[in-house]
Amino acid sequence: MAKINFGGVTEDIVTREEFTLDKAREVLKNEVVAVVGYGVQGPAQAMNMRDNGINVIVGQRQGTPNWDRAIADGWVPGKTLFPIEEAAEKGTVIQYLLSDAGQKSQWPKIVECLNEGDMLYFSHGFSVTFKDDTLVVPPPNVDVALVAPKGSGTSVRRNFLAGSGINASYAVHQDFTGKAKDRTIALGIAIGAGYLFPTTFTKEVYSDLTGERGVLIGALSGVMEAQYNVLRKNGHSPSEAFNETVEELTQSLIRLVGENGMDYMYANCSTTAQRGALDWHPRFRDAVQPVFEALYESVITGNEARITLEANGKADYRAKLEEELNAFKNSEMWQAGAAVRSLRPENWMK
Helix (H) or strand (E) holding 119: strand 119-122
Neighbours of 24 (CB within 10 A): 24
Give me the sign of the Cα torsion angle 48, 81, 318, 103: negative
- Bridge partners (DSSP) of residue 170 are 147, 198
- Distance of alpha carbon 131 from the chain centroid: 20
**Strand bridging mode 166-174 / 143-149:** antiparallel
Neighbours of 295 (CB within 10 A): 19
Q: Say how far apart CA 38 and CA 99 lie, in whole Å.
A: 10
Candidates 124, 173, 236, 281; catalytic one: 124
Q: Say how far apart CA 178 and CA 138 lie, in whole Å.
A: 17
Q: Has 236 been annotated as catalytic?
A: no
Q: Say how far apart CA 285 and CA 278 lie, in whole Å.
A: 11
Active site residues: 124
